[in-house]
Amino acid sequence: MSQISVRVNDKGYQSDVEPRLLLVYYLRDVLGLTGTHIGCDTSQCGACTVIVDGKAVKSCTMFAVQANGASITTVEGLAKDGSLHPVQEGFWEEHGLQCGFCTPGMLMTALQILERNPNPSEAEIRHGLEGNLCRCTGYQNIVKAIQYAAKKMQEIKA
Amino acid sequence: MAVSHIFGASVRRREDPRLISGQATYVDDVKLPGTVHAVFVRSPHAHARIRRIDVSKAQSAPGVLAVLTGQDLVGKVGNIPCAWLIPGADLKLPDHPPLARDVVRFVGDGVAVVVAETRDQAGDAALLVDVDYEVLGAIVDQEKATQAGAPQLHENVPSNIAFRWPLRGGDIQKAFQDAEVTVKQRLINQRLVPNAMETRGAIAQYHQANGDLTIWVTSQNPHIHRVLMSGVLGIPEHRLRVIAPEVGGGFGSKIHHYPEEAVVGFLAKMLLRPVKWSEDRRENYVATIHGRDHITDIEIAAKRDGTILGIRGQTYANLGAYLSTASPGIPTILHGLMLTGCYKIPAIDYVVYGVLTNTTPVDAYRGAGRPEATYIIERMVDLLAAELKMDPVEIRRKNFIGADEFPYTVASGITYDSGNYSAALDKALSMIDYTEFRAEQARARQQGRYLGIGFSTYVEICGLGPSQVAGAVGFQGGLWESSIVRVHPTGKVVLYSGSSPHGQGEETTFAQIIAEELGVPIEDVDVVHGDTNAIPMGWGTYGSRTTAVGGSSAVLAARKVKEKARRIAAHMLEAAVEDILFDQGKFHVRGVPERSKTIQEVALAAHLAWSLPKDMEPALEASAFFDPSNFVYPFGTHICTVEVDPQTGQVKLLRYVAVDDCGPVINPKIVDGQVHGGVVQGVAQALWEAAVYDANGQLLTGSLMDYALPKASDVPAIETSRTETPSPVNPLGLKGIGETGTIASTPAVVNAVIDALSPLGVRHIDMPLWPEKIWRVMAEKGV
């Protein structure tokens, strides 16, 4: 067992973890944050994407011990004071989800896309989503959701 | 209907707040105190005899509570049943034990299960289960499997032929005698892996005191799971509670009752601890059903003017190693009967061989039999047009069933409910600007560029279906749906639905139906589904039946509620019932709109029951069971344009237009979403996806690294539009939309690519149209 200390959604945690424990299992099984999903075992689907120290990371590809000292945001940490983050709002407004399973990962990736490029083109959004798979939407409304969020975030900044 | 018209509005989905905030509960999110974890040991061989299984090392591994093999389950867990026993096909039913007993028949067949305190411990111990196999010859090709000398999977299935399903209608001999032209083609509809983003899983809890077993399972139909599991586990139906919580996509793959679900249920009872199993993705690739996998030889007969006279041929449908829950019905009833598509084809002669092979079982995958039928007829119509040098649009129009000819009985014997195929085609042609595209294509050809346009004018059968027909075709269940509408004292409404949506948005669209019918705000309506202890009996969500059948039962229940409320309102207003009118949630006396009672006031009066009409029961709720008089037949035209790169063989999708007709639309945004997703799944079959086995039965495409699921950058935006032709078979005229995209799109894309390559004399290339394949064909033709 190794001891780690992490901040997840602005809350500090200290845990003893097995060295082989993947970050996604740590979040889901140890911290009870089941919003982050597991969709594959080869780091293709992106359902488990979370933000680790500002970077979108597939949490099935990282050991919990590697997150020692890190600051992590999961889907549960997106809304602030009861109001949705613009990316969440975009997915809701534009019907960017159906079964919802890929959605948490999509939201975190969307956040990263918009942080790197506040005004992305459709092609840039589609490129940015390459690490996340969705079987329901055909991606069309996910793209629209991110465009909605981009506009909203720029309005907030302005 | 009320003036506000929430029916038809693109309201935001009511299921979304929990899904976008990480607060939804999928099966793997269900955490019960004391839960232990099951991991299955699976066969690495496609066909082998089990000589011996040594579980001793696994049993003594840390944390292990139990290790069971197939033999240990004999007499405890029954065989996994097949529930679609098609008649007239000499159907053979091989045993499907929950874990293999003597022989494993596909890579992934379960041989043992290990239960431990943690999932990792169970996984570690599973590696210690030592199975001594005697490897047998394997067969993966369904045609070869029927030939002499092929390895035999089951003793009671000679030549591996589980059924032979003949279909005849009209005079096929005359059709081919009268033919001025015939076109023949072999068409391969390759095997696909459904790949719902949530893999399967189950968690079971046994309550010893009263003998109740509760199981949360990734299911599209909790009541079907309950009735099948009741038989398999020997637990009385009323002691079994099946909960489908949030379900992360199904596409057909979560209809079926699988061995793992039964085993987990049994283990919970045996160990008196909650037992959980979560499928890995790599497990999902081998242990969850696959789809399609047809080899078809087909021939079409026509006059020189393009009039189609008949179609004949045969299909070898690969069913995998065992008969899954619905598998015999998919390549037959849902496939063969639709083979003539939207055309007046007077004669059909078709036979389907259902063949068992050493592969993962094949069953319903989005569209389930209809994509295969549409692919055949839409490819053949294009091949015929090419043979006759006719425009693919012209030949389609010439053979369409006319808008004034419905209901129309086709050669296979089924009767299409309603349609207007030309209207959808016209709309799609104008959206794509057909004339301009042909001009552009001609210019491009001058420059050595390969542009193509492909059509798919489809019709499909869904809204399953009349129960009487279900019985006649051997489906071991009813196909009606049910709803309870309960109005609470304050006028808030809960709809308990027997349907089981898992992403299609019926928590929203059903609430729209109820809100419209009762004139209450949609915020005042809640929709409950998925828990057999909470909802009335229903047959679940598949075959694009939820809205057409379940939605119909919802509106009928709401109408019953409204009728009772009208009688109470008449009593309250001291007026005759026939003088009470209802508008926007208010009952008023004819001609005196100010004398009125809101439905909320009536709801309170109904519950207080201080003064009700004589002999009326208190409260305000009603249940309705809806069994449709026919299936529904949505239709439309999909058009795709492509450019093929002669350097690489790469197909670039230029535009994709989808005009669909699903009758009146409850929520346009949700319907568009269904079409987008369906189209991309169908496009993916045409261009990328294929489950590939080697000759030994190893799945070469066994992970997301090897199986080409479409990414956001692979697909263009889909341009959607609609025509609206109501169905006469249900109260709101609704037709299904969940599968049309997958059914329509595959041939549209293939037709477009072949059109692009037609100057080279290319007639056909089998899917998936991988760049390498196209490059080779083009190279052969000297490009």
Any idea of the CA torsion for B279, B280, B281, B287, to the nearest 10 degrees?
A: -50
**What is the average pLDDT across B192-198?**
98
- What is the distance, to the nearest Å, from the Cα of residue B235 to the centroid of all Cα atoms in its chain? 29
Ranges in chain A, pLDDT < 70? none
Per-residue DSSP letter, B80:
P
- CA distance linking residue B84 with residue B81, whole number of Å: 9
CB contact under 8 A, B281 and A141: no
The stretch B412-441 carries a mean pLDDT of 98
Mean pLDDT taken over chain B:
97
Task: Report pLDDT digits (tens) over B282-292.
Answer: 999 999 999 99
- pLDDT tens by residue, B129-143: 999 999 999 999 999
Residue B1 has pLDDT above 80, yes or no: no
Residues of chain B contacting residue A139, judged by C-beta atoms under 8 Å apart: 676, 680, 710-712, 715
Residue B12: is its pLDDT beyond 90? yes
The answer to whether residue A70 neighbours chain B at the CB level (below 8 Å) is no
Which of B15, B26, B741 is the closest to A101 by Cβ?
B26
User: Which domains, ranges and CATH numbers included, belong to chain A?
Assistant: 2-77 (3.10.20.30), 86-157 (1.10.150.120)
Subunit contact A130:B712, Cβ cutoff 8 A: yes
Query: With 50 as the cut, is the pLDDT of residue B93 above it?
Result: yes
Contacts of A97 in chain B (CB under 8 A): 16, 19-20
Q: Are B106 and B46 in contact (CB under 8 A)?
A: yes
Q: For residues B46-67, give the mean pLDDT.
A: 98
Contact B197 A136 (CB under 8 A): yes
Residue B622, phi then psi, degrees to nearest 5: -150, 150
Question: CB of A97 within 8 Å of any CB in chain B?
Answer: yes
Check residue B715 and give its pLDDT. 95
ipTM tops 0.85: yes
Q: Name the band, by pLDDT with cuts 50, 70 and 90, for residue B783.
A: confident
B306-344 per-position pLDDT tens digit: 999 999 999 999 999 999 999 999 999 999 999 999 999
* B249·A135 Cβ contact <8 A: yes
Q: What are phi and psi of B567, to 5 degrees?
A: -70, -40
Q: Which of B21, B278, B281 sits opposite A40 (nearest CB)?
A: B281
User: Among partner residues B22, B503, B715, which is closest to A136 by beta-carbon distance?
Assistant: B503
Q: Which residues of chain A does B17 touch, with a Cβ-Cβ cutoff of 8 Å?
A: 92
Alpha-carbon torsion (B722, B726, B732, B735), positive or negative: negative
A58–B contact, CB cutoff 8 A: no
Is the per-residue pLDDT at B2 higher than 50? Answer: no
Question: Do B35 and B274 form a contact (C-beta atoms < 8 A)?
Answer: yes
- B319 sits in which H/E element: strand B308-320
- Among B23, B670, B715, whose Cβ lies nearest the Cβ of A95? B670
Q: Give residue-wise pLDDT tens across range B652-696.
A: 999 999 999 999 999 999 999 999 999 999 999 999 999 999 999
Q: Is A151 helix (H, G, I), strand (E, B) or coil?
A: helix
Cis geometry, peptide bond prior to residue B501 (ω within 30 degrees of 0): no
From A97's Cα to the closest Cα of chain B, the distance in A is 8
How many residues in total does chain A contain?
A: 158
- Number of Cβ pairs < 8 A linking chain A and chain B: 176
A139/B715 touch (CB, cutoff 8 Å), yes or no: yes
Note the pLDDT of residue B579: 97
Distance from CA of A156 to the nearest CA of B (A): 20
Give the residue from A106, A136, A137, A146 with the most B CB atoms within 10 Å of its CB, the best one to mutate.
A136
Tell the residue number behind the tokens 């109501």, with chain if given. Answer: B726
For residue B140, report the phi and psi dihedrals to the nearest 5 degrees: -115, -20
Work out the pLDDT band at B646, boundaries 50, 70, 90: very high
CB contact under 8 A, A98 and B23: no
- For residue B3, pLDDT beyond 60: no
Residue-level pLDDT at B465? 87
In chain B the first and final C-alpha atoms are separated, in Å, by: 62
The answer to whether A40 contacts B704, with C-beta atoms less than 8 Å apart, is yes
Stretch B366-380: mean pLDDT, rounded? 98
Identify whether B465 is preceded by a cis peptide bond (ω within 30 of 0). Answer: yes
Q: Which two tokens stand for residue B542?
A: 């598949």
Judging contacts by C-beta atoms under 8 Å, the chain B residues touching residue A140 are: 676, 715, 717-718
Do B704 and A133 make contact, defined as CB atoms within 8 angstroms? yes
User: Mean pLDDT across the stretch B512-520?
Assistant: 98
Round the CA-based radius of gyration of chain A to a whole number and report it. 15
Residues forming a β-bridge with B103: B49
pLDDT at position A158 is: 84
* A73 at interface of B, judged by CB pairs closer than 8 A: no
CA nearest B192: which of B710, B754, B680, B707? B707
Selection from B363, B365, B372, B304 nearest residue B341 by Cα:
B372
Q: What is the pLDDT of residue B4?
A: 63
> Using only C-alpha atoms, what is the Rg of chain B?
27
